[in-house]
Chain A
Amino acid sequence: MAAVSGQARRRRSLPVLRRGLWRWVILILAAMYFLLPLYAAARFAGIKAYGALISQSGFTTALWLSVRLAVITTAITLALMLPTAVYVHLKLPGLRRVLESLTILPIVIPPVVLITGVLQVAPGPLKSTPYLLGLEYVVLAMPFAYRAIDAGLRALDLKTIVEASNSLGASWSRTLMQVIMPNLTTGLLAATVLTVAMVLGEYTMASLDLYTTFPVWLVTNDQSSATVTVAGSIFSLFVTWLVLLLITVVGTRRGRRTGRPVSLFTAARQDNRD
């Protein structure tokens, strides 16, 4: 009897083992796909290239411009997208699909068309500053930021907690700051990191607008010092990875506190969680 059940157990555990093995094979293949080019790039650049990065002409200026643009873009994007998404969720739920479609537009419209459009309507004084680029990036960041915030809002019983907050005497602004935003940290962080990553990596618009942002500098510098450029690319990848790590850590801490699963996109609906 014991022998029979032992055989049955072995028969059952064989597919499980095989499944586990396949998982490892896929994981290793995927890791190689991503890591091998990075390894090759790091090896090509060499250690010295990282040290030379700082002293390269235009590096700090370009990086500083990109960082400023990232901050401005993120601030404007969140300031626009958060109240809009909250308002649509609460007052115009029927428009959610329309807004989703609208926010996709920047992905399908070519950057050159966007630039031409923005240049037509932008106020004169702004045209001569790089902050115009920030406004263009706000348009580009819309699809990512809106989706991240929208997913976060869908995970909340927004209407009820807003009404509960109002009935307890909180104004709209206090409800937004003290009730909605703390419960939307993961969504806001996701929107932030996606926006920052987009700004730090965007080349076409900056190049067409003739501003030397970090990606433009990388391409330009590639002509004179390829190893340093590659080191710069790996550096920017490392920064992005650090930001993602930060989100995961913060999100996990919040998840433990509020009992909500955390992911970068917070995509899972939790309407029926209770």
Chain B
Amino acid sequence: METTPETGSALSAGNGSAGRSAAVASGAGIAFATGSGGASVALNGLTRRFGTVKALDGLTMNMAPGELVALLGPSGCGKTTALRLVAGFDFPDAGSVLVNGTDISSIPAAKRDMGMVFQSYSLFPNMTALDNVGFGLRMRKTPAAERRRKSAELLDMVGLGAQAGQYPHQLSGGQQQRVALARALAIEPRVLLLDEPLSALDAKVRLQLREQIRTLQQRLGTTTLFVTHDQEEALSMADRVGVMRAGQLEQIDAPDELYARPATPFVAEFVGVMNRIPGELRDKDSVRVLDMMVPVKGSSAAISGSRVDVLVRPEGLIVDVTEHGNGIVITRTFLGSVTRLSVLLSGDVTIQVDKPSTIAAAIPPGMSVSVSLPSEPVLIAPRAA
């Protein structure tokens, strides 16, 4: 398992906080702006055990001011634990959380200045939308008139100005999460924490809110840590995505890098669709697959034996129609601009191949095809049982 430390070079490009603040002030016509701007965040070797289970195992990562980082991973990988340690709802057994270089590991949640949007609707049922948004300001003893003005502005910003006087039970799930977002932003947090805020919403609302969160985050320049198990959400919203597994960070990179150049087989298979094609290691640098020799990406030292699987994305395969090919098309699924072909290879292996729909139209099910790989380095994994 490989942990890729954040190098700083891949941090969000061109998101200067001064520019963002100006955009907030002028672009939206709203006087509210994040006074504190985005803060830098560093997680250093965070470890957290629950009994015998190691939920986090030396998690290390950095976030640049104004950056949106998504932590992505399967259930139980430790992403929510990491978020809770940053929020101050839980404390690490080892390691530290640094905000703008200051260790806040032992500071309670109430004094961390972090806004959080939860997975479940977390609005206070006894308060109106306006009062919910103003709650954090009330705790900071902001004068009532200013509190009301600021809360109303934030509700306008999330498109709920007309619902200011409504109670949570009178709002839809999507509206409640937007109020929760406004409430979290009202305190001008140093870091915004999002704990799967869209998972309880239906697909259409999820898409709208996803865009709204990203737009707001970019406008306000708030450093944001976003936890999700939905890769589409993570890839579409984040400046960088960290893929977690068993309490460790497998890889953290820009979404396109993560997709195109996964560092480990787990990342490769977790992000996007990935084919496993049986191959044979000939030496430590090359593998024989589909009757051709291709170079191996990275080191194969960790793999014992010569029987391996070669990991290739559906769009990374070459398919040619030929009479006596190495595969037969069994299904064809139209996905818009591309069409996905399921091809049965010898050895009872089925793979997916994406082709432009205009080309795939000429490859009906039952047709014999020749599947091959470009001569680029490929990622390999131990042969699946």
Closest CB in chain A relative to B185 CB, distance in Å: 11
Take A160-B118, A163-B109 as given contacts and tell me if A168 and B187 are in contact as well, using a CB distance cutoff of 8 Å: yes
Contact pick for B167, options A157, A257, A274, CB 8 Å = A257
Interface of chain A: mostly helix, strand, loop or mixed? helix
Q: B126 and A167: CB pair below 8 A? A: no
CB pair A167–B114 under 8 Å, yes or no, is yes
Contact B87 A168 (CB under 8 A): no
B116 within 8 A of A: yes
Interface string of A213-251 (1 = CB under 8 A from B): 000000000000000000000000000000000000000
Q: Does A5 touch B at the CB level, under 8 Å? A: no
CB distance from B316 to the nearest CB of A (A): 42
A274 and B120 in contact, given A169-B136, A257-B126, A257-B167 (Cβ under 8 angstroms): yes
Interface string of A167-208 (1 = CB under 8 A from B): 111110010000100110000000000000000000000000
B110 pairs with A171, CB closer than 8 A: yes
Closest chain-B Cβ to A123's Cβ sits at a distance in Å of 36
| Assembly CA distance A62 to B118 (angstroms) | 53
- State the CA gap A259–B110 with chains docked (Å): 28
Contact of A167 among B115, B120, B124 (CB under 8 A): B115
CB distance from B35 to the nearest CB of A (A): 15
The CA-CA distance from A154 to B203 in the complex, in Å, is 30
Would you list which residues of chain B between 167 and 200 have a CB under 8 Å from chain A? 167-170, 173, 180, 183-184, 187, 193, 200
Closest Cβ of chain A: how far from B224's Cβ, in Å? Answer: 14
Nearest neighbor of A274 in chain B, beta-carbon distance: B121
CB-defined contacts of A167 to chain B, threshold 8 Å: 87-89, 109-110, 112, 114-116, 184, 193
Closest CB in chain A relative to B378 CB, distance in Å: 45
For residue A252, which residues in chain B have a CB less than 8 angstroms away from its CB? none
A105 lies within 8 A of chain B by Cβ: no
What chain B residues lie within 8 Å of A263 (beta carbons)?
none
Q: Mark B362-377, 1 if CB is under 8 A from A, else 0.
A: 0000000000000000
B353 to nearest A CB, angstroms?
42
A161 at the interface (CB under 8 A from B): yes
Contacts of A156 in B (CB 8 A): 125
Nearest-Cβ distance from residue B349 to partner chain A, whole angstroms: 43
Give Cα distance in the complex from A177 to B48, angstroms: 32
Question: Number of A residues whose C-beta is below 8 Å from B?
Answer: 23
Is A258 an interface residue when CB atoms closer than 8 A count as contact?
yes
B122 interfacial contact with A, CB 8 Å: yes
Residues of B within 8 A of A7 (CB): none
Q: Is the CB of A274 within 8 A of B170?
A: no
Residue of B nearest to A174 (CB): B139
Chain A residues lying within 8 Å of B298, measured Cβ to Cβ, are none
Which of B110, B136, B187 has the largest count of A CB atoms less than 10 A from its CB?
Answer: B110
Cα separation A174 to B88 with both chains bound (whole Å)? 17
Chain B residues whose CB sits within 8 angstroms of the CB of A160 once the complex forms = 118, 120, 122
Contacts of B91 in A (CB 8 A): none
Asked if A260 lies at the interface with its beta carbon under 8 angstroms from chain B, I say yes
Chain A residues with CB under 8 Å of chain B are 156-157, 160-161, 163-171, 174, 179, 182-183, 254, 257-260, 274
Q: Which residues of B contact A (CB under 8 A)?
A: 87-89, 108-116, 118, 120-126, 135-136, 139-140, 167-170, 173, 180, 183-184, 187, 193, 200
Q: Can you identify 11 A-B contacts, CB atoms within 8 angstroms?
A: A157-B121, A163-B116, A164-B118, A164-B123, A166-B110, A167-B184, A168-B110, A169-B113, A170-B139, A258-B169, A274-B173
